[in-house]
Structure 1
Amino acid sequence: MGNPNVFNNFRKNCFRFLSSTFLLITGVLLLPGCQSNSADEIVAAWAQHDGECLLLTIIPQKERSISQSIGTDSSCDFSVANILGQSRLMLVEPFPGSITLYDFDSDKGFVAQETYTLAEIEITSDPQWAADGTIYLGGIFDDKEDIYRFNPETNLLEKFIYSEADLITDPLLSPNGKYLFYWTLDDSSNRHVCIYGVQECRGNGRYYVRDLDSDTDFPISSISSFVPYHIKLCFSEKWSPSSRYLVFTLDCEVPATMVILDVENKEVVSVIEQALGTDGWLSDNELVYAGFVHLPPATLPVGRDLVYSIDTQTTRELADFPLYANSAKDQFSLSAMNWTKDAKSIVGTIPKGNRLIALVIVHNDDD
């Protein structure tokens, strides 16, 4: 949670205005939170600054922005969630656990509306909203981490996937709402290794997918000998738009090995070596990821954003700008980059000393 994301239908002019806004108007670094609402063509950005949670709303068409302070006691863990078919700005407070939904007001900016309190647990994952309003999330209660199910209408919070011995966390709901991916750790001494915000769990666990229609689970390692029994949780998994495919990495090192799983047929369809990171899906059969390419006369490989086609089992370059520079301090933060669905624009950050510089790139073949 907390990596910048770009809403799928982000317009190119939003990027250009966003870039100038960050650099000239606010003077405050608002990445690593960046999301847009394509329906109203607004952009929301957020970050902690001097202990204060700041929220910036940009209205590109009107060349107007609204700055807000959420306060010093906020986690500032915003994200955009698809809730009952609508894009809503969501704020998660880990403990006491709560989820607040915001609506946009053209005069005031984002205004808090519903708040759901889950004070009994410490929230440890992104809440996953099903089409019927049910929320799935990871949570810790009584020194034990499991997956919970919450009904916002009745305020009923109950354990959904749990074990007396195992740690169970990181639920990821498929777009069609049929499957729920999750991760288990069978070493009880390592409970709490997946606390909120940690990017890698210390310990090896297992990947599972639950079919919510049949209420059955299958371990991913059971469908292919290539997938090991134990896998580190790297928060790299992503569903394809149709929910047929699931991509994940086998380890948390860079470069890593990525696996594309056909969930419907329970088979591994592709294995990608030397991957630097997963950016997302251009379509149901095309995955965007960061990887190395060799560009003569250079002797060392160069990082590029690549498109892998499941249908043809081939890879092509998505853009011709480097993901890695010669100096280590100028390297992109690959985990903090996202492409728009049309592959025309990208947002990310570059580390400079002890701070991050917002980077917005427009890639247009016509320019």
Structure 2
Amino acid sequence: MFRFGIEHEVAFLNKEGKFADFSCTKFADFQQIVDLLPTYASDYPQLRVGDAGIKKKRWYIEGFERFADSETVTDCLGKGIEIRTTIHPNIQGAITELTASFHLLHKIAKDFGFYPVLISFNPYTKNFEPQPPLNDYERSQLLAYPDEQTANIYMVSYGPDLNISLTDLPIEEAIDIGKKFTYYSPYIVPFTYSSPFYDGKLWHGLSVRTFMRTGKRPATLVFVPEKSQLIHSTPALTKVARIPAEVGRIEFKSCDSCDNFSIYAGLLALLKGLAIDKTLPGRAIVPDANLHQISAISGFSNPDIFVHGSQILAAAEAALGNDTDISYLQVLKTILSNRKTKSHELIENFQSSGSIETSLRQTYDGY
């Protein structure tokens, strides 16, 4: 039986209409929102709390934790609020929970002057540099975990984790699916592009996030039970599970964020179909950065990206067969047919208004 979960990062404008990131927003500004959101006792132990205690709810501040010269957390520089769903036996359950959680977040956030907006790369800040500079303990921690050395990227990017697992699947097969997702990632991510701004201006492509991130950060992570099962690579493909509920989980991490959650449903159905499929031969341990950059600039307007995107969508549809989840693929078919993404809409809005903030305020329409 398949299981599904979603982690969705939300960015905000503040009451002054300014993009609310670590440059102008304190941890307490975001935490006052999280404090008023509910806790569900039944969520545990399937949701990980973490050592710092920040991840106590379905909502938590996504950011960069600062430490003293020890394991003591002294601060967290926030970039926004992440919503995570519990684990569901069906796609609709995950989408329904995500939608309800977003509505609650939106309701509470607006009371504090924060307005949720969709963007997948910080439209103003190109790079994250922690201030004050890292101390010796923090530097030693980053050296121990290579992927954590890319905080300069993840602190300015926003994207979902689409989580899928299959009950009792041997870990070797889960890793093989992870390699498959990694290989076909450049043709999956264009369905979600939503980051056309960079350094306060319109960028020359559709996804700054994909262009800057891929090759340095994982496309897919597979959680394994034992260290001996790790595949050593940079970026990582495998990671040791931190709680039992993570064992065998395959996280697809490449996509931009979406404000139409039906696209997440389509992507989960696509990943399910690709996991079942036995016809597609491609496998990769690390993502192809060059191909992702080509995809990031042109999306489905690039003939190669369009052809391969069509092929994997057809393969997933064939693999799903009579599965009712096949209906979720329709939204992806429409995007592919039109060769238009959320970035195209944001670009048009910007060209009409001349304002990044005005363009962002038109996102999450209907939510």
Q: Under a length normalisation based on structure 2, what TM-score does the superposition of the two structures give?
A: 0.29
Rg larger for? 1
Determine which structure has the larger helix proportion and give its number: 2
Determine which structure has the larger strand proportion and give its number: 1
